[in-house]
A and B are shown apart, each in its own frame.
Chain A
């Protein structure tokens, strides 16, 4: 028999886990995105700038190295300009300055040279 003055104790089952709180639409997705942004940050502007500078530096270095190689190759493969041909009067003076023995030697060696005495080419 129950006492009519006695109140029934609160029944937790009537409420269960219901709560009087709500959240905005899409709230949990947005919160997940915010948290991910904070823990896995996108590269900052300074980092991006640093990366761009590094790339630029690498390209410039490569171009400079290529230019240096081309310069060295061109430098060592260039044929020196031919010295100007002496004039006939210079040859005659030089011949005249030789001693008798040398003049005789030259005459002996070159008097029959077909290239020097080839009259057919004239």
Chain B
């Protein structure tokens, strides 16, 4: 059974190395998949996920318990993913209002399951969303975060996060209608 966030915080304070192992057992896969959905390529997701956990370990002292621990971790992960995408771009800094995904790289990655066409098309639809909508949709749909947690993760209000989610969902539905 995965440890609760409060258990993880207590463990990290009592014994950082042991607490951090517990944290990785709980968050390793959710964080990796969250980043992978944004950056698409496995190697990139691996780099960004590793960097995320190193940052979590090194900056744990700065974590403010007034805020959600889960949102804090996903905020670091989202920033790492956006930073990596930004580095890959030759143009200006990536804005949260721009689409992040390289749809062509979806099928080019070595670790892509070409047998699941519907799942691949859903990822294509998500990747065409602006980064803020994409993050909101993923955090709600895949990670089942509350709008409050999403708001803390991406730095917005719960109402705005809710609106972003519904707009994103509408755009995905429209994508399927336009591409059928």
Task: Say whether A associates with B.
Answer: yes
**Contact call B111/A22, Cβ cutoff below 8 A:** yes
List the interface of chain B (C-beta within 8 A of A).
Answer: 17, 20-21, 24, 28-29, 32-33, 36-37, 42, 46, 49-50, 53-54, 57-58, 106, 109, 111-114, 116, 118-120, 122-123, 141-142, 169, 172-173, 175-177, 180
A14 CA / B173 CA spacing, docked (Å): 13
**Taking the nearest CB of chain A, how far is it from the CB of B77, in angstroms?**
13
A31 CA / B46 CA spacing, docked (Å): 8
Task: Please name 4 further chain A to chain B contacts, defined as beta carbons within 8 Å, in addition to the given A12-B141, A20-B116, A35-B57, sorted by A numbering.
Answer: A10-B175, A19-B36, A32-B28, A39-B20
Number of A residues, CB within 8 Å of B: 24
A7 within 8 A of B: yes
**Contact call B58/A39, Cβ cutoff below 8 A:** yes
**Contact call B112/A23, Cβ cutoff below 8 A:** no
**Contact call B112/A35, Cβ cutoff below 8 A:** no
A109 within 8 A of B: no
Checking A20, A23, A34 against B120 with a beta-carbon cut-off of 8 angstroms, the contacting residue is A20
Which residues of the other chain, A, contact B111 by a CB distance below 8 angstroms? 21-24
**Residue of B whose beta carbon sits closest to that of A32:** B24
A80 within 8 A of B: no
**Residue of A whose beta carbon sits closest to that of B36:** A21
A98 within 8 A of B: no
From known contacts A7-B180, A9-B173, infer whether A15 and B54 are also in contact, taking CB-CB under 8 Å.
Answer: no
**Contact call A31/B54, Cβ cutoff below 8 A:** no
**Taking the nearest CB of chain B, how far is it from the CB of A43, in angstroms?**
15
